[in-house]
A and B are shown apart, each in its own frame.
Chain A
Amino acid sequence: MNTNQIHKAMMVLALSTSFAAVAADSAVTDSDRIEQYREMISDGNPAEFDEMRGEELWKKAAGPNKVSLEQCDLGKGAGVVKGAYSELPKYFKDTKKVQDLESRLLTCMTTLQGFTEDEITAKPFASSKKPSDISSLATYVVGQSKGIKMAVSTKHPKVKESYEIGKRIFNYRAGPYDFACSTCHATSGVRIRMQDLPNMRSSKKDAQIAYTGWPAYRVSQGLTRSFQWRLNDCFRQQRFPEPKFASEATIALTTFLAVNANGAEYVGPGLKR
């Protein structure tokens, strides 16, 4: 992480809220201020640049097979992007797997375009030096579900199974600190430093807000981050071994969190501190 960028982000935060702070009483919390800051720049979310980049990549012929991803089936038929994210994860007959958006993109990039899985999964996340194609593609796809309600079906037994596995992982305590996701994310009204911790196990509202705001532009990193990245970083915070990109465990957790967010309008790509 880049402390310089954090300082700058915090300065903007301080500047943008100083007027409000004078007018309001002292009950204005840090999270209120972050919320104000978020609102202020929400119609100027730099994630839009990543959406643009993703859209170009989607339409561009690439890989050894020199084809675009326009025939990629994200679950609503070949080439249908609109509303696809609101229904993922889903069971896919061709791969015989439950897949989230990123693992499905990986399937399309390997089967249609002819990339090898290793080429893509070696560095699946963006850095300040190098953007990530799969991540930008995901940003584009999620943007096409903006305003559409989350509706992940657990009718298929494999999806139901994935949900149950995700739930178990969410509550599974291990590692040097004996942490589970639930250690940090199953109590309401708590925070770490300035970050409110959503209660994704028992608060429907928290689960919905937490899920539907990702992928997101991280102001502190100057990068748009995917959901796989979010999970990866929480595994790190939990002092667990790094999960494999698009692995069954990460998809199961995504299924658990996405189903808990059902009914909420998808509002991403979002904006985070």
Chain B
Amino acid sequence: MGNPMKIRATAKDGVTEVKILMQHEMETGLRKEADGTLVPAWFITEVKAQYQGRTVLDGQFGQSISKNPYLLFRFKGGAVGEKIAVSWVDNKGDSRTDEATIAA
């Protein structure tokens, strides 16, 4: 299981803004160690956000995303006090899900 994310969500005027900071090495598979050995690819492939069972974000990630990725998105609706759940899956099959409560 991966390391925890930091999620901040705020609802205003019928729109919820979600900021996600993920902890992940995001190795491209192209980088070499000083001794020439290739560092194996290891990156998040999919990010999903769910609100009350509804998918509000479904994204594909790849090698061009930096280490410890930061993602901001907005969706219509979302109520203060309700929860938003974010999950990612990486190319090694590891995954992580974290939740945050929507603030005002």
Q: Using Cβ atoms and an 8 Å threshold, which residues of chain B touch A222?
A: 25, 66-68
Q: Does A61 contact B (CB under 8 A)?
A: no
Contact in complex: B6, A41 (CB < 8 Å): no
Q: Does B70 contact A (CB under 8 A)?
A: yes
Contact in complex: B31, A46 (CB < 8 Å): no
Of B8, B23, B28, B64, which one neighbours A43 at CB under 8 angstroms?
Answer: B8
- Which residues of B line the A interface, CB within 8 A? 3, 6, 8, 19-21, 23, 25-26, 28, 30-31, 64-68, 70, 72
Chain B residue at minimal CB-CB distance from A217: B68
The 0/1 profile, CB within 8 Å of B marked 1, for residues 32-50 of chain A is 0000000001011110110
Chain B residue at minimal CB-CB distance from A2: B31
* Shortest Cβ distance from residue B43 to the other chain A in the assembled complex, whole angstroms: 11
Q: Supply 14 A–B pairs (Cβ within 8 Å), ascending by A.
A: A4-B28, A8-B26, A8-B67, A9-B66, A11-B64, A12-B66, A44-B6, A44-B19, A44-B70, A46-B70, A48-B6, A49-B6, A49-B68, A222-B66
* Shortest Cβ distance from residue A270 to the other chain B in the assembled complex, whole angstroms: 15
Q: Using Cβ atoms and an 8 Å threshold, which residues of chain A touch B3?
A: 49
Of B21, B28, B31, B64, which one neighbours A44 at CB under 8 angstroms?
Answer: B21
Q: Using Cβ atoms and an 8 Å threshold, which residues of chain A touch B20?
A: 44
- Which residues of A line the B interface, CB within 8 A? 2, 4-5, 8-9, 11-12, 41, 43-46, 48-49, 219, 222
Q: Using Cβ atoms and an 8 Å threshold, which residues of chain B touch A9?
A: 66
User: Given A44-B70, A219-B66, A222-B68: A4 and B31 within 8 A (CB)?
Assistant: yes
A8-B64, A46-B68 given; name 20 further pairs at CB < 8 Å.
A2-B31, A4-B30, A5-B67, A8-B26, A8-B65, A11-B64, A12-B66, A41-B70, A44-B20, A44-B72, A46-B23, A46-B70, A49-B3, A49-B6, A49-B21, A49-B23, A49-B68, A222-B66, A222-B67, A222-B68
Chain B residue at minimal CB-CB distance from A222: B67
Provide the bound-state CA to CA distance between A8 and B43, in Å. Answer: 13
Provide the bound-state CA to CA distance between A8 and B65, in Å. Answer: 7
A2, A8, A9, A219: which has the most chain B beta carbons within 10 Å? A8
Q: Using Cβ atoms and an 8 Å threshold, which residues of chain A touch B65?
A: 8
Q: Using Cβ atoms and an 8 Å threshold, which residues of chain B touch A44?
A: 6, 19-21, 70, 72
Provide the bound-state CA to CA distance between A231 and B31, in Å. Answer: 28
Chain A residue at minimal CB-CB distance from B26: A8
* Shortest Cβ distance from residue B47 to the other chain A in the assembled complex, whole angstroms: 14
